[in-house]
Structure formats: structure tokens, C-alpha cells
Amino acid sequence: MGFEQLAALKAKLVEQAKAEKAAESAKRTKGTNGNKGTTDGKGTNGGKGAKGPKGNKPARARDAAPAVPEKPVDPVVLAISRLQKRFPAVFPKNPAPKVPLKVGIFQDLVQHAQELKLTEAELRDAIRTWCRGARYWNGMVEGAARVDLAGEPAGQVTEADARRARQLQRSRTARPLPKQPAQQAEQARQAQQAQQTQPEQPAQATEPSQADKPA
């Protein structure tokens, strides 16, 4: 075998060795890249790894409904409701007729002020309001029995008491009713019309003052 043939065979073997080495290197590289680690979330067999739990999105704050303001309770109404609950026979609820109260019953109620959680002023206003109106005055008949806090008779309605109740009821009935808006508007229109029909008085000429006269 000549020198040239040996050189060609050697070169061929070198190229074959390089090709095998390159193929083996490429195979190793492919195997390494095929098995991705946990950095990209995939498993060693090419499968997807377990994903971490998603973060909970912050819940939207619900718009708070506007608070409805509570209507203030009249202290007199509150006091009367407590009297009706504590002494139902003496302070009956509507539509039951009211009964004449004992003269001096306020002093008896003051002794129960702490129990009722009411002040003397609140009790006085409650009694004054309770004894006002047609529902109470209708029961103020001469000879009718007055009652105490126990609902027992404690005196009678005198002729003077009955007469005063009738006078109070008549005075309330005789009060003029409040004018309706339509009536008020009609009266205002008539007054304006009467004012427009009045003839205007000519303005009187005034003498110039000393300061306005030429020097």
C-alpha cells in the first residue's frame, strides 16, 4: 500500500472518529435538555411539574350601604308607653277610653320613677299630655270615679272638673282650621291683583338743596 493510500485511510478514520464523537455529544446534549428541572416547572420525564398555588386575588370591598338615620323617638311618647306597660288599667291603649286619674297621681308616679327609668320632668310631661285631648275629656263626667295606680277608685269627678273639661273641648273645637295651600295662594293672588290696580301717585318734584344750588 502506497503512502498516499495510507494517508487517505488515516484521514477517513479521523473523520469517522470525529463524526461518532459529534453524534455522541449531540445525543448527550439532547438528553440533558429533554429532562428539564424544576426551574421551568416541568418534570424530569418532560411532563409538566406541579404548579404552585395561585395567589388569592384581593376581594373587592363592597360599597357600604348608607346608614339610614333612625327617627328620633319623642320622649313623651316613650314615657307614656312605659306607663301603659307598667299600669295598663290606668293608662289604657287606644281605642280604649281613658279613665279620670286620681288627683295627685303624679306624686304616686314619682315613687316609681326609678323603676320606670323616667325623671320627674318626663313624668310631668307625660301626665300633662295624657290628660289633654278629647279622649280624656270625654271621660270627665260629673260623678265618674277617678282611679289610682292600682286601678282602684280614688275620688270622683266634680261638677267643676266636668265643666272645665267641656270648656277645654269646646275651645279646641272652636280653633280655626289651618288654611289650605290653595286658599293661601288665592289670597296672595287677590292681594297682588289689588295692588296692581291701584293708580300710581305722581312723584313730587323736590326743591334742590343748598348744596346742589350753583354758587
| 211 inside domain | no
41 located within any domain: no
Examine the pLDDT at 184 and tell me if it is beyond 70: no
In this predicted structure, which of 52-56, 74-78, 140-144, 167-171 has the lowest mean pLDDT? 52-56
How many domains would you assign to the chain? Answer: 1
Cα dihedral 35→37→39→43 (10° resolution): 80
Task: Provide the domain limits for residue 119.
Answer: 75-173
| Confidence class for position 212, pLDDT limits 50, 70, 90 | very low
- Residue 139, domain member (yes or no): yes
- Residue 13: band (very low, low, confident or very high) from pLDDT cuts 50, 70, 90: confident
What whole-number distance in Å separates Cα of residue 64 and Cα of residue 29? Answer: 61
Measured distance CA(113)–CA(131) in Å, rounded? 19
Q: Are 157 and 141 in contact (CB under 8 A)?
A: yes
What number is the average pLDDT over the span 115-143? 95
Answer whether residue 156 is part of any domain.
yes
Q: What's 151's domain CATH number?
A: 1.10.1710.10
The chain-wide mean pLDDT, for the chain, equals 75
- Contacts of residue 16, Cβ cutoff 8 Å, sequence gap at least 6: none
Report if residue 131 sits inside a domain.
Answer: yes
Please check whether residue 82 is in contact with residue 118, taking contact to mean a CB–CB distance below 8 angstroms: yes
